[in-house]
Amino acid sequence: MLEDKQPALTPLEKLGEFGLIKHLTKNFPLENPSSVLGVGDDAAVVDFAEEKTVISTDLLAEGVHFNLGYVPLKHLGYKAVIINLSDLAAMNATPTQILVSMALSNRFPVEAVEGIYTGISLACKKYAVDLVGGDTTSSQSGLILSITAIGKAREEDLVRRSGARENDLLVVTGDLGAAYMGLRILEREHALYLTNPKIQPEMEGYDYILERQLKPEARKDIKKKLKDLGVHPTSMIDISDGLSSEILHLSDNSRIGFRLYEEKIPMDELTLLTAEEFCLNPTLAALSGGEDYELLFTIPPKDYDKIKNHPDFTVIGHAVSKSMGNKMIARGCHEEINLTAQGWDAFLRRWPGT
């Protein structure tokens, strides 16, 4: 798919590093008043006046975080931005700028890089974020995308991982496990394609979970929704590695334990059906699948009435003393199961349970 067979493809050498950067960034206007200086100088300049600067960075490596065999470049660019914006949402900050660094081997023509930037541009527009800098260079092999996202927040709005207290309620946005089941579909169809390139992939009917995997969204909307409800979370994190791993992070940073109720974990109907198709316990997809980019947070018990019945929020557990540890109360039997960090570990390069 990426080989230089089509007549119109342009090798990277033709533009050179500075030419490529100019070419790729010409359609990225600065929209935020806080963007003082963007691409084209030694550094970007941003100005948040009385608000604090919030910064997050994530690096995606080909073959580790994505497989270009079934991830379109446009989606890769979009998702790479989303992953970083999600980190800012998890601080209750408002994203405003990104810097994009990229290393790519010369197997990629200019058009491939343009595809990535098309996705980056779509995400920038949708989330009102400005591209203000970055670095583009070659690599010996493969593609590396390193994005830094910048946002702003007033001190009183910031939510750290460390503020949860005993008896706080554990709340999650949206539904979980869908992105992982979407990945399983993509992997299955890609494996079939490799055995016989003439087979048409069977993607029909899986739209929701495929979109959750290929085109996730960051919960930038939650900051305003919580503010409107008068709720200020005591701690918050985004779900990138899986519910289990994120609960353990909140536990670790806040020095408390958690009780999670399996039957409360919100999951979409299609996630459940697809898990059944793969003979997989859907709870595992939620606990360890990751890439949901939903927000997990804690609120004081007194705020329960403010969020109950809200379509975006589900109470899935509560905080207990640290000595009681982190456990999931299983559906039906009410057995207590220890929560372990089974989230996807980039060093093990494997999905748990597979």
Q: What residues between 101 and 160 interact with a copy of itself by CB under 8 A? A: 101-103, 106, 132-135, 137-142, 144, 146, 148-151, 153, 155, 158, 160
Quick one: which of 28, 12, 35, 38 has its CA closest to 77?
28
Q: Identify the residue whose tokens are 């334990």.
A: 257
CB 99 within 8 A of CB 134: yes
Q: Which lies closer to a copy of itself via its Cβ, residue 40 or residue 205?
A: 40
Q: Which of residues 251-270 bind a copy of itself (CB under 8 A)?
A: 253
Tokens of 124: 């920038």
Q: Which stretch binds a copy of itself (CB under 8 A): 32-40, 112-120, 169-177, 224-232?
A: 32-40
For the CA atoms of 128, 134, 137, 140, what is the dihedral angle to 10 degrees?
A: -80
Distance between CA 218 and CA 130 in Å, rounded?
A: 16
171 binds a copy of itself per the rule CB under 8 A: no
**Contacts with a copy of itself, 219-238, as mask; x by CB under 8 A:** -----------------xxx
Q: Single out the residue of 24, 39, 46, 131 in contact with a copy of itself (rule: CB under 8 A).
A: 46
Q: Which lies closer to a copy of itself via its Cβ, residue 61 or residue 229?
A: 61
Distance between CA 250 and CA 297 in Å, rounded?
A: 9
CB 54 within 8 A of CB 153: yes
Distance between CA 230 and CA 224 in Å, rounded?
A: 10
Q: Which lies closer to a copy of itself via its Cβ, residue 236 or residue 270?
A: 236
DSSP state for residue 337 in the 8-state scheme: E
20 binds a copy of itself per the rule CB under 8 A: yes
Distance between CA 153 and CA 95 in Å, rounded?
A: 9
59 binds a copy of itself per the rule CB under 8 A: yes
How many residues contact a copy of itself, by CB under 8 A? 74
Q: Which of residues 308-337 bind a copy of itself (CB under 8 A)?
A: none
- Distance in Å, CB of 40 to a copy of itself, minimum: 7
Distance between CA 26 and CA 159 in Å, rounded?
A: 35
279 binds a copy of itself per the rule CB under 8 A: no
44 binds a copy of itself per the rule CB under 8 A: yes
User: Residue 200, class by beta-carbon neighbours within 10 Å (0-12 exposed, 13-18 middle, 19+ buried)?
Assistant: exposed
Q: Single out the residue of 161, 212, 220, 259 in contact with a copy of itself (rule: CB under 8 A).
A: 161
- Distance in Å, CB of 71 to a copy of itself, minimum: 15
Q: Which lies closer to a copy of itself via its Cβ, residue 63 or residue 201?
A: 63
